[in-house]
Amino acid sequence: MDEKEALIQELIKQTEDGKLEWTHSSSENEYALELSSALFTISYEFCPDYAAFCYIVNMHNGTGAPIEIVREVARTEDTCQSNLLYRLFIDARESCVKENKTIREALSELKNL
């Protein structure tokens, strides 16, 4: 396992444990994570080079242009197990929007009425 893959897996693990807080980026379908060493973004966007939608993780360390860490083409059969970046994107969105958490809380609130 190379360093980049290790980084992605660590990001997934820490996000799922709720230790990392992703925020909305200035682009649609993009989430940002601020660490003291660098700022990471994960986006779901159309890549003209692949003529397909891709998941892209970029790193911004303030020294110039963003550094692309990894890029993967999104597939229709993507699941959390098959594609790391898909999983990270879903986790980042959940960390930012808290959709599932809010639904669960609302559901339990409704049940306790």
Binding site for another protein (CB under 8 A): 24-30, 32, 34, 36, 38-39, 41, 43, 45-46, 48, 58, 60-62, 64-66
Q: Which is nearer to another protein, 20 or 32 (CB)?
A: 32
Cα gap 59→40, rounded to integer Å: 5
Residue whose CB is less far from another protein, 9 or 47: 47
Q: Which is nearer to another protein, 36 or 112 (CB)?
A: 36
Rounded CA separation 28/105 (Å): 27
Nearer to another protein, 58 or 83 (CB): 58
- CB contact at 8 A, 7 and 25: no
Min dist. Cβ of residue 32 to another protein (A): 6
- CA torsion through residues 59, 61, 62, 65, sign: negative
Q: Is residue 42 within 8 Å of 55, Cβ to Cβ?
A: yes
